[in-house]
Amino acid sequence: MNMKVTVIGGGAWGTALACAARRAGSQTRLWARSEDTASAISSGTNPSRLPGVALQSGIEATSNLSVALEGAEAILLAVPAQTVREVASAMAPLLTDPVPIAIAAKGIERNTLKRMTEVLAETCPSAQSCVLSGPNFAGEVAKGLPAALTLAADDHATAETVQRAITSGSLRAYLSDDPTGVEICGAVKNVIAVAAGVAEGRGLGENARAALVSRGLAEMMRLVTALGGKAETVMGLAGAGDLILTAMSATSRNTSFGIAIGEGRSVQSELASRKAVTEGYWTTAAVLKLATDAGIEMPIVVAADAILSGRIDVDEAVRGLMERPATSEIW
């Protein structure tokens, strides 16, 4: 293959994607904010984000953004959603030619309610954007365990370029023409995962968690279709697949955060104790505003927002959900 790929972001997911690109035969550079992180990744480890995981050899990591982007034929943007605007703005003057950029961040920009592709279009006009999402834990991808994901773009060739850059015997990338649906799925699933974690932490049982995940999928479907996405996307890797993985595993950042809140820890103290970004916390209010503006009901998201903002406690939120008027099971 020998494609020149640049990964932007030295966190767990960025590091895992760099491993995937190397495994696919791509020349791989990675940009990290910290020189210490870049040095560690170049040496084959990322002890702060992927402790104990031996990285794929041959990743060239740097804290110099210009060096990282030089000659890139495909870029994987793997920074937290709320920093995409800042990082993409810094990238823009360094990109003189159009280049495929796969956005691996899952979230909605809080201040503008924009999807990540919309943020990228505003800040980096030369970008040929696509969306990378699916049910993947970074550590497993970094180790080369079998995994699959979705690459969605309006332009098929853009997604195909990124597909070639990362597909190997351990990672299968499926193409989609529904970037809107894939982006909304990625944002909503983090919110539902926080709610499922709260139920787990509160000891509400497996029945309650399964109900939250199922009805959360219904809420995801409503928002995706209201905003112009496709219903079938919700039932694929980026929707049901990612939600099941995230909400049913205590190793998920969003679910483990919810578990801590359900067990009685304060939201702010739990956020302060974490190295990695909990995207579900930062996305909940934005997802709720999108739903309100679209005129659709998302009661689980409403409850999650009320808990995270401190307006009500967990027990009151559960009562509110259980006392809603009985209705038919429809999407």
Report DSSP state, residue 47. T
Query: Is 189 annotated in the active site?
Result: yes
Length of the chain: 331
* Ranges under pLDDT 50 in the chain: none
pLDDT at residue number 327: 86
- State the pTM of this model: 0.96
**Where does residue 123 rank: exposed (0-12), middle (13-18), buried (19+ CB within 10 A)?**
middle
Please list, in sequence order, all residues whose beta carbon lies within 8 angstroms of the beta carbon of residue 192, skipping any fewer than 6 positions away.
Answer: 212, 213, 216, 217, 219, 220, 243, 247, 300, 301, 304
Contact criterion met (CB below 8 Å) for 262 and 200: yes
Helix, strand, coil share (%) of the chain residues, nearest 5: 55, 15, 35
* The one catalytic residue among 4, 106, 114, 189: 189
Residue-wise pLDDT for 66-92, tens only, equals 999 999 999 999 999 999 999 999 999
Q: What is the CATH number of domain 180-322?
A: 1.10.1040.10
Residue-wise pLDDT for 228-279, tens only, equals 999 999 999 999 999 999 999 999 999 999 999 999 999 999 999 998 899 9
Q: What residue spans define the domains of the chain? A: 4-177, 180-322
Q: What is the CATH number of domain 4-177?
A: 3.40.50.720
Distance CA 153, CA 150 (A): 10
Distance CA 69, CA 77 (A): 11
pLDDT at residue number 331: 55
Distance CA 289, CA 291 (A): 5
